[in-house]
Amino acid sequence: MSRDIAVIDPEVVEGEIIAEAAVLDGRAMCSMNFARLEHKKLEKILLSQIIPAMGGYDNELACDIARHLEQIATFSGNYCWRHRHIGSAWGEVGKRPGVDD
């Protein structure tokens, strides 16, 4: 890995310079925690009811559904699982007052 500093002429570069690392605050992480739980519920419905009703994994569409579910969890870092504790102080999102109490 080179530690040389590259100097780029600002007139040549178009676009926007962004940070290499993203930052999630507690509220955003709380939403990620909720999204992870909702994904698990959807995955359970699809894998236990919908895919078997489609004829199982012999059906190409059923295989696509299962693959997409796995890719969502994998490439989202399972909705930032490692940082799930950050959102715990924000309570629960997705609850409907008077319905989910």
pLDDT above 70 (res 84): yes
Under a CB-based contact definition with an 8 Å cutoff, are residues 35 and 79 in contact? Answer: yes
Residue 23 pLDDT exceeds 70: yes
pLDDT, averaged across the chain: 81
Quote the pLDDT of residue 83.
78
Tens of pLDDT, residues 37-72: 999 999 999 999 999 999 999 999 999 999 999 999
Residue 67 CA to residue 61 CA, distance in Å, equals 10
Domain residues of the chain, as ranges? 26-90
Entry pTM: 0.66
d(C-alpha 31, C-alpha 37), whole Å: 10
Q: Residue 2 is encoded by which pair of tokens?
A: 């080179």
